[in-house]
Amino acid sequence: MKRPHTCEVLHPILTMETANKPLASIDDLMDAEFGKIGTRQREAFRKEAYDYCVKSNLERKQKKIRNRIQQQNKTVYIMNDLQEKAKVGFYCNRPYGIRIDYAQKGFVLFNRYANTLGNRETGSIEKLPLESFEDVNEIPLDGILVQNGNHTTDVYFYSEESNPYRNAILNLEALKQYNRFIYPLSILLNRTL
């Protein structure tokens, strides 16, 4: 006689003939199919059922863990992507410095790529177009580094050490310091920087 699979025991009406054997309880069914408690046949069944349950629980827990790890990896990827976009946006769209030309009465704000704000291509400060500004002496010279030339002054708002994205993670203290330099300039020039 072929022994039924463990799961089939849970559905005895579908897998066994019970018309010839009137069974009063599940214990009678178990005894009839797998032997009395304590027999080798019953112990083999008990072990198989136990192993099946343990394996099912383990597989379910492993699946939950895999799903959780995949979700965490996805979240980390999204966070890294957002941080990278924020860093590139900061380098491209926010001023790295300002060149003030006293002789031509103008200035140019430049980004980390030594180009006009919003332009990600590497440029040259010397080639950037000046914006006219009559009161160039009023432009604050607050920054991390100030370099004076013959008729120009370059003010840098952060350095490698004070870069708000120095370690690829936003440093809020460095960003506050940066904003302390940018805010007065933003007010004077009447624009959002």
- Percent of residues in the chain assigned helix, strand, coil, to nearest 5: 50, 10, 40
Q: From start to end of the chain, where are the E strands? A: 97-101, 106-110, 131-132, 145-148, 152-156
CA–CA gap between residue 37 and residue 2 (Å, rounded): 20
pLDDT at 135: 92
Q: What is the pLDDT of residues 21-50, one digit of tens each?
A: 565 688 888 888 888 888 999 888 889 989
C-beta neighbour count of 120 within 10 angstroms: 14
Q: State which amino acid sits at residue 177.
A: Q
Across 93-118, average pLDDT? 94
Pairwise CA distance, residues 158 & 177, whole Å: 9
pLDDT tens sequence across 172-190: 999 999 999 999 999 999 9
pLDDT attached to residue 15: 47
Name, in order, each residue with C-beta under 8 angstroms of 54's C-beta and a sequence gap of 6 or more.
none
Q: Rounded to whole angstroms, how far apart are CA atoms 113 and 130?
A: 17
Residues 37-64: what's their mean pLDDT? Answer: 90
pLDDT at 77: 87
